[in-house]
Chains A and B, each alone.
Chain A
Amino acid sequence: GAVVSQHPSRVICKSGTSVKIECRSLDFQATTMFWYRQFPKKSLMLMATSNEGSKATYEQGVEKDKFLINHASLTLSTLTVTSAHPEDSSFYICSASRGLAQETQYFGPGTRLLVL
């Protein structure tokens, strides 16, 4: 149990376009979902925390108008990279938890974004 999927697994887009990445909890209800960004050979950096039905909480330095997060249901959160530029190229990973105290986060497989 506790499987999280991401779609797409890989996307290539032109500079200036917007890209949407989906994160789904397949067999549990995810009250809270997290979005991370991972640079090559670097750690995961938390971008934002989203709770179902409310606005996402962004980490310092993350542009909320650039990275739009929607968590409209207990099984789906989306991250939209708006007007993507080459510097947005990265590996984006989501995780989901039931939102209980000390609850484990379950990670998706990640989405590789390449902006040309």
Chain B
Amino acid sequence: AQRVTQPEKLLSVFKGAPVELKCNYSYSGSPELFWYVQYSRQRLQLLLRHISRESIKGFTADLNKGETSFHLKKPFAQEEDSAMYYCALATGGGNKLTFGTGTQLKVEL
């Protein structure tokens, strides 16, 4: 069965510092991975997906099949990045999502 692991429940960084939110997955098929973000009092929304290979709000994530990882990175954290971040793995033809437990990112001034 597929699984997504986010080892950190809380990550606290100072503004301007680099950020790396860890995500590891376990899946026997070809993985399709996403990062979703939930800002305070807002709904879950897509941040980025690995097949797009794009940078959104300064965030990037590279799929590393050898390490089965999809870590989310940003070189310089901003206060508005404070949110809950979920890593998710799509299976079942790309439509069924398995979520990690989430990492709360707190950017301090």
How far, in whole Å, are A101 and B32 apart by their CA atoms in the complex? 11
| Chain B contacts with A in 27-53, Cβ cutoff 8 A | 32, 36, 42-46, 49, 51
* A107 partner residues in chain B, CB cutoff 8 A: 36, 43-45
* Most chain B CB atoms below 10 A, which of A49, A101, A102, A108: A102
How far, in whole Å, are A99 and B94 apart by their CA atoms in the complex? 10
A102 touches B99 (CB 8 A): no
Q: How many residues of B contact A (CB 8 A)?
A: 23
How far, in whole Å, are A44 and B51 apart by their CA atoms in the complex? 23
A77 at the interface (CB under 8 A from B): no
| Chain A contacts with B in 87-116, Cβ cutoff 8 A | 93, 95, 97, 99, 101-105, 107-110
How far, in whole Å, are A107 and B86 apart by their CA atoms in the complex? 13
* B102 partner residues in chain A, CB cutoff 8 A: 43
How far, in whole Å, are A95 and B86 apart by their CA atoms in the complex? 15
Contacts A102-B51, A104-B46: A46 and B95 contacting too (C-beta < 8 A)?
no
A49 touches B43 (CB 8 A): no
How far, in whole Å, are A101 and B95 apart by their CA atoms in the complex? 7
B95 touches A109 (CB 8 A): no
Which of A41, A105, A109 has a CB less than 8 Å from the CB of B97? A105
When A and B form their complex, which 10 residue pairs have the shortest distance between CB atoms, in order from nearest? Answer: A107-B44, A43-B101, A102-B94, A109-B43, A43-B99, A44-B99, A107-B43, A101-B94, A104-B46, A43-B102
